[in-house]
Amino acid sequence: MNGYLQIGYTQTALAGLLIVANLVLSAALRLGLGRRLVIAALRMSVQLLLIGLVLKWVFALENPLPVLAMAAAMTAIAGVAAVNRTQRRFAGVYWGSLVSVSGAAFFVTGLALLGIVRVDPWFDPQYLIPLLGMVLGNTLNGISLALDRFVESLVQRRDAVEATLALGGTRWEAAHDHIRDAMRVGLIPMINSMMVIGIVSLPGMMTGQILAGAEPTDAVRYQIVIMFMIASAAALGAFGIVFFTYHRLFDDRHRLRLDRVRKVVA
Amino acid sequence: MLSATGLGRCINDAWIWRGVDVQLMAGQNLAIVGPTGAGKSLLLRCLAGLDSADEGRIAIDDKPLDEWQMPVYRARVVYLHQRPALWEGTVEENLRAVFHLAAHRSKGYDRSVAIRRLEAFDRDGSFLEKNAVDLSGGEAQIVALTRALSVEPSVLLLDEPSASMDATATEQAEELVARWVAEAPGRASMWTSHDAAQVERVADHTLTLDSSQATIS
């Protein structure tokens, strides 16, 4: 059962007609979604077609430099996107996010490429790019959820945090509950998806491999490896950003520095 | 005991207050008075090391603030927020949790002492079982004050400590603090209050904060 049925551009366009169902619904119920739906559908198609061309080009080069450049660009975008989804910012938060995302994603992906999947050469984009992409997407989620929750919780419970400090608590004692809470929230999507995977949802990568003709048992083992990578990177990334934020928002004189935080309208 | 000289605080290029001198001696009850927005809370927060001053120096027992480890300093100089901030849980859990902080671990929670302090407010042991979120503003201030006293500080910085209390509880709070200061050597309190009559009752000294200069009397 090797190989797969190829889809041409005409067939792809045919699938685009499916979106007409949404447009009809939107018009009939006056949801006012038509314009945004068309824009979203167009963006999705253009972005994917472009990345297809870029990947094809990078795959053909067999040179680590363009692969690494692409990995760096993906990581940078993930780092920025993680912060942009949050409502409160402080100076240096983008750097903190970049360091957390890249630290977690490079460490985990590197370990998997060299130690587990044992790809040769190590930069083979057929493995590096999709693995890194999946890890980045989930790390981004973990980071933005944990970051948002941590800062929000400090702002909302500011009085209680300061009460701990005012009674002689250290900054760690004052922040501890909030750090734990932020980590828990950051890891919720990860834990949820591991709980129901294979029962409620069949993950995209696994289905993709099966469609491409891989043995289901092979595809499943790949998926398990991926899930472990994702879980570990999301946890590392979330911890990285929370720890960084903790050091920015509590100074070494054990003061809560919410004066460094400003709210942005997302 | 607690002294501050030439304190100034500048926000957005404007001095909130400047050249403030505070001398708080053991046994004293000092009130800070001034119009709304004069920065009374800010001054207390600076003295507690929760906010920083832009100039001047603060010292306790002649040891400058910079040389103290902040948790140790704040275990001695306890600031009570204007809006009482209790932790999640019951009243008793609030009173007990403060002893989980490293700074107070050597001391222990004593239920009978807590009950005795609450009795000063006509509250008995059943009050300990109440959930912090169900308390009225005045009751929360009672718990916050009791919690602050339980860690045996040297200086209490009280920021409108009875703003949400009724007349009876206010009087009881004033009495409790006055008794606490007089009870042992080396204790003092500092108050802010919008109520001139209260200042009259509790303070033996006052410090007037008035647009960028302060006078002590």
Domain holding B57, by residue range, is 2-216
Residue A249: count other Cβ atoms within 10 Å of its Cβ: 23
Give the residues of chain B that fall short of pLDDT 70: 211-217
In this predicted structure, what is the pLDDT of residue B207?
92
Interface test with A, best of B50, B72, B82, B149 (most A CBs within 10 A): B50
Q: How far apart are CA A144 and CA A230, in angstroms?
A: 15
Dig out the tokens for A44 from the structure.
């999705």
Antiparallel, parallel or unpaired: β B188-192 and B155-159: parallel
Q: How far apart are CA B48 and CA B43, in angstroms?
A: 9
Query: In this model, does residue A251 exceed pLDDT 70?
Result: yes
Q: How many domains does chain B have?
A: 1
CB contact under 8 A, A170 and B147: no
Nearest residue in B to A156, CA atom? B85
CA distance B168 to chain A (A): 25
CA distance B82 to chain A (A): 10
A165 vs B contacts (CB less than 8 Å): 50, 70, 74
Domain ranges across chain A: 1-61, 63-263
In this predicted structure, what is the pLDDT of residue A3?
74
Query: Long-range contacts made by residues B126-132, C-beta under 8 angstroms, separation at least 24?
Result: B127/B91, B128/B90, B128/B91, B128/B92, B128/B95, B129/B90, B129/B91, B129/B92, B130/B90, B130/B91, B131/B89, B131/B90, B131/B91, B132/B86, B132/B87, B132/B88, B132/B89, B132/B90, B132/B91, B132/B93, B132/B94
For chain A, report the end-to-end CA distance as a whole number of angstroms: 48
Instruction: Say whether residue A170 is in contact with chain B using an 8 A CB cutoff.
Output: yes
In this predicted structure, what is the pLDDT of residue A62?
86
CB contact under 8 A, B74 and A256: no
Instruction: Say whether residue A153 is in contact with chain B using an 8 A CB cutoff.
Output: no
A168 vs B contacts (CB less than 8 Å): 71-72, 74-76, 78, 101, 103-104, 151
CB contact under 8 A, B71 and A170: yes
In this predicted structure, what is the pLDDT of residue B12?
86
With bands split at pLDDT 50, 70 and 90, how would you rate the model's confidence at A266?
low
SS3 of residue B157 by DSSP: strand
CB contact under 8 A, A166 and B104: no
Nearest to A74 by CA among A118, A27, A121, A131: A131
Of residues B74, B86, B147, nearest to A165 (C-beta): B74
In the DSSP assignment, the letter for residue B61 is T
In this predicted structure, what is the pLDDT of residue B215?
52
With bands split at pLDDT 50, 70 and 90, how would you rate the model's confidence at A123?
very high
CA distance B49 to chain A (A): 8
Which CATH number covers residue B54?
Answer: 3.40.50.300
Q: How far apart are CA A184 and CA B14, in angstroms?
A: 43
The residues that bridge with B215 in the sheet, in sequence order, are B208
In this predicted structure, what is the pLDDT of residue B216?
52
Is the separation of the CB atoms in A212 and A199 below 8 Å?
no
The residue-averaged pLDDT of A127-145 equals 95
Dig out the tokens for B145 from the structure.
């004050």
Of residues A160, A168, A255, nearest to B85 (C-beta): A160
Question: With the C-alpha atoms ordered A90, A95, A99, A102, is the resulting torsion angle positive or negative?
Answer: positive
pLDDT digit string, tens, across residues A56-73: 999 998 899 999 999 999
B105 vs A contacts (CB less than 8 Å): none
Instruction: Say whether residue A168 is in contact with chain B using an 8 A CB cutoff.
Output: yes
pLDDT digit string, tens, across residues A152-209: 999 999 999 999 999 999 999 999 999 999 999 999 999 999 999 988 888 888 999 9
Is the separation of the CB atoms in A97 and A80 below 8 Å?
yes
What is the per-residue DSSP string for A208-244?
Answer: HHHHTT--HHHHHHHHHHHHHHHHHHHHHHHHHHHHH
- CA distances, A237 to each of A99, A130, B37, B59 (Å): 9, 19, 43, 42
Instruction: Say whether residue A200 is in contact with chain B using an 8 A CB cutoff.
Output: no
In this predicted structure, what is the pLDDT of residue B11?
87
Of residues B87, B103, B144, nearest to A168 (C-beta): B103
Dig out the tokens for A69 from the structure.
């450049």
Is the separation of the CB atoms in B84 and B135 below 8 Å?
no
CB contact under 8 A, B78 and A162: no
Of residues A160, A166, A256, nearest to B74 (C-beta): A166
CB contact under 8 A, A167 and B98: yes
Q: How far apart are CA B2 and CA B7, in angstroms?
A: 13
Report the alpha-carbon angle B26-B30-B33, nearest 5: 165
CA distance B126 to chain A (A): 24
CA distance B116 to chain A (A): 21
Nearest to A246 by CA among A231, A233, A260, A232: A260
Expressed in percent and rounded to 5, the helix, strand and coil fractions of chain A are 75, 5, 20
Report the alpha-carbon angle A15-A134-A53, nearest 5: 50
Tell me the Ramachandran region of residue B33: left when phi exceeds 0, alpha when psi lies from -120 to 50, beta otherwise: beta
Return the half-sphere exposure (C-beta side, CA atoms, 13 A cut-off) of residue B127: 21
Of residues B52, B74, B144, nearest to A168 (C-beta): B74
In this predicted structure, what is the pLDDT of residue A200?
83
Nearest residue in A to B48, CA atom? A166
Of residues A162, A163, A253, nearest to B70 (C-beta): A253
Query: In this model, does residue A2 exceed pLDDT 90?
Result: no
Residue-averaged pLDDT of chain A: 93
Question: Phi and psi of B155, rounded to 5°?
Answer: -125, 135
In this predicted structure, what is the pLDDT of residue A1?
46
In this predicted structure, what is the pLDDT of residue A198?
87
The residue-averaged pLDDT of A10-32 equals 90
